[in-house]
Amino acid sequence: MSIFRTGIALACAVALLPADKAQQERVFIQATEATEWVRSYCEREPDKCNQAADLWNGFKEKAAFAGRLSLEAYQKYAATGTLDGLSKSAYTASGAMAASQVAYNEPAPVRPLVDTLMREDMQPAWRGPKAR
C-alpha cells in the first residue's frame, strides 16, 4: 500500500511541475538557491547549529543507553525467562525498567459454572399485550 501512496505522491509532484521551458528554468534556479541556503545555515547561524549538534549528541547517547538496556533485558529474559538480576548499571541512569520487573503470574483457570439459572430467570421478562 505504501508503494501505491508513494506513486500517487510522485505523480502529483510531476503533475505540478511547469511545462513551459522558462518556468522550468525558474523552478530549477529557485530549487538550487534553496539548497544552497540550507547548506549554508551553519555559516550564518553558528550558535544555533552548535546547539542543535549538542542536542543531537545527547539524543544519540540516550538512544545508545536505550539500546544497551533493551539488549541486556532481552538477553537476560531469553536465557532465564525472568528479568531478575539485571546489572544495576543499566538502571542507575533511569528507573525506566523498575516497572517492568514485576513478576508475571498466570491467571487461575476459569471453571464453567453449572446449574446457575433459577426458575424466575427462565421466564420471559416481558410479554406482549394480551389478545382480546
- pLDDT by residue (tens digit) across 67-116? 998 888 888 877 777 766 665 554 444 444 444 444 555 666 767 777 77
Task: Determine phi and psi for 109, rounding to 5 degrees.
Answer: -65, 145
The predicted pLDDT at position 72 comes to: 87
Region 42-52 average pLDDT:
92
Distance of alpha carbon 48 from alpha carbon 58, whole angstroms: 15
Q: Could you give the maximum distance between any two Cα atoms of the chain, in Å?
A: 96
The predicted pLDDT at position 94 comes to: 46
* 45: nearest Cα among 37, 56, 57: 37
The predicted pLDDT at position 76 comes to: 81
Distance of alpha carbon 94 from alpha carbon 57, whole angstroms: 18
List, in sequence order, every beta strand (DSSP E) within the chain: none
Hunting for cell 555559516 — which residue is that? 43
Distance of alpha carbon 28 from alpha carbon 22, whole angstroms: 10
pTM: 0.41
The predicted pLDDT at position 39 comes to: 92
Return the number of other C-beta atoms located less than 10 Å from residue 76's C-beta. 17
